[in-house]
Chain A
């Protein structure tokens, strides 16, 4: 199927090829475009590429007082330390666990909500629910974690409700027990981003050919058949692209939520790689180790992204790259 689509592409209106060769005249002719873009190119190189040279710190015993030539090079010592360090293994576990929970919960809840919103026929009501569901997305994590902490407090609304429903007989101290933490983080993400994440699915659903539904009606398909056989396949390319992008962020479990909600009692469960980097780097001044942790994260992200993209290609799905 995909092949046929690709083959049909040349039918698009032929684009006038104006590929120019490098010549002094072209540069002069395009000088306005050059003024508009080359300074910004320099800008991005300075702010995004130059700091990458700092990765050399991970292979040194970096001391800020010394110049680059005077640093001691230590090879992969810091990486070796990381992979034998219980602390690092624990933050790696936490990062992966929370990120997988967020990924699965985020995708499943958003797709379900999009399917349900798609069934609402009254435009005004649908609009209203959507507008309200976007609200938490615009609140900062500071505010959201404040709300989460208030709601989960021993006299907060969650304990209140559970007590009134007689599900528990004494308040649960949610944020003092490690075993709840991953769930709390997952639920906070769902609360904040659920509505927002449906936007893209709803847009994809609205571009599904209505004739498909009409044909299914004639064949006597019910609502759930149509969801399963028309709507879900219709948004599959969107789901795949979003999945590939999320997989690339598998070690981005977030920093803010864990940092803001975590506390000494539960740090074995709450600390992520980013917090590890912050703790070793900024607080303790062990720049080399912190940088090594950061490099590891970037390396895993790019590998996962390429891997997911390759898998999607093998399965004949939509791809990102």
Chain B
């Protein structure tokens, strides 16, 4: 089909297009690759500059310092815990609710859907939310990472739309077999939603893993509740303000100071904080579009 055009145009276009894509790939990957290189290079050598795609003085010292530091290790565990808990709760509760509001015969279907959808368009704002967390005794409490974000209206609608594509006769035959709604949800609908749930789980997990603002606002006075991203944020802002001040690597393996600098530590934490996600997302790619179904927001 495409051949018909002939001539030089397709060749020129495809060459330029390929060139453009290569540049895009380089621009996307280079900063990340460079961070990996910095994380494996001796900190005192990195300061000399000129480090691009290969470490000059290879070392594992940065990673050793990161994992030897109690602060970072604890923050890592808190991040893992909040991510796992958030993902499980989100997936289970959102799908359960989506099933309920997908049932046409359900008497509260309309009001419940409306009340949830409306939450997409307003937000009480920082201060009122802060006071709510305070009143619920969630300040400086691990649960503040999980409880406020157990259901997102957007995910709810995406899952509900997906459930709508499942044949009604499946549900009906299960009901004839005597299954109640909870059983139908758990045994039938939940397993059938796997493709959409895989994507939503990834989105929720990434959101939980990457968030730092809640740690900053709600739990900053309890160090043991700090998250990995928040530790990284503290490191970033201190190294931006006071370049290579040793004190900023506070608590991070001071005895290695000759080799380890705030910049190299930051690079190592950056890699530790991004690798888990980067290992997972390429395998979910084909499902992304299911989880982004914008058209489905419309009733």
A-to-B contact residues, CB < 8 Å = 15-20, 22, 26-27, 30, 32-38, 40-41, 43-55, 57, 113, 116-117, 119-121, 125, 127, 129-136, 138-143, 145-147, 149-151, 155, 157, 191, 195, 199-200, 203, 213-214, 217, 222-223, 238, 241-242, 245, 248, 255-256, 260, 263, 274, 277-278, 281-282, 287, 290-291, 294-295, 297-298, 301-302, 305, 319-321
Contact = CB atoms under 8 A, between A and B. Distances in A.
A241 B294 contact: yes
A145 B236 contact: yes
Given A140-B229, A291-B128, A302 B122 contact: yes
Given A30-B105, A44-B119, 6 more contacts: A37-B106, A37-B112, A57-B127, A139-B210, A145-B236, A157-B30
B85 to A, nearest CB: 16
A150 to B, nearest CB: 7
A116 B17 CA distance: 7
A204 to B, nearest CB: 9
A190 to B, nearest CB: 10
Contacts, number: 247
B236 A149 contact: yes
Interface in B165-212: 180-182, 185, 206, 209-212
B135 to A, nearest CB: 9
Contacts of A34: 108
Contact of A35 (B13, B30, B124, B182): B182
Contact of B126 (A49, A131, A195, A277): A277
B182 A214 contact: no
A315 B13 CA distance: 35
Interface stretch (B63-71, B91-99, B246-254): B91-99
Given A54-B132, A119-B17, A132-B25, A33 B100 contact: yes
B21 A129 contact: yes
Q: How large is the interface on B (under 10, 10 to 19, 20 to 34, 35 or more residues)?
A: 35 or more
Contacts of A256: 213
A131 B285 contact: yes
The majority secondary structure among interface residues of chain A is: helix
Contacts of A305: 121
A110 B150 CA distance: 31
B31 A142 contact: no
Interface in B1-41: 1-2, 4-5, 9-10, 13-14, 17-18, 20-21, 24-25, 27-32, 34-35
A260 B105 contact: no
Given A54-B131, A199-B289, A223-B9, A191 B28 contact: yes
B181 A36 contact: yes
A113 B20 CA distance: 10
B206 A45 contact: no
29 contacts: A26-B107, A32-B180, A36-B185, A40-B96, A40-B151, A43-B150, A51-B132, A52-B122, A121-B2, A127-B285, A133-B25, A135-B28, A135-B278, A138-B281, A141-B210, A142-B229, A143-B232, A145-B236, A155-B49, A157-B31, A199-B292, A203-B289, A217-B4, A238-B295, A291-B127, A294-B123, A294-B125, A294-B127, A294-B128
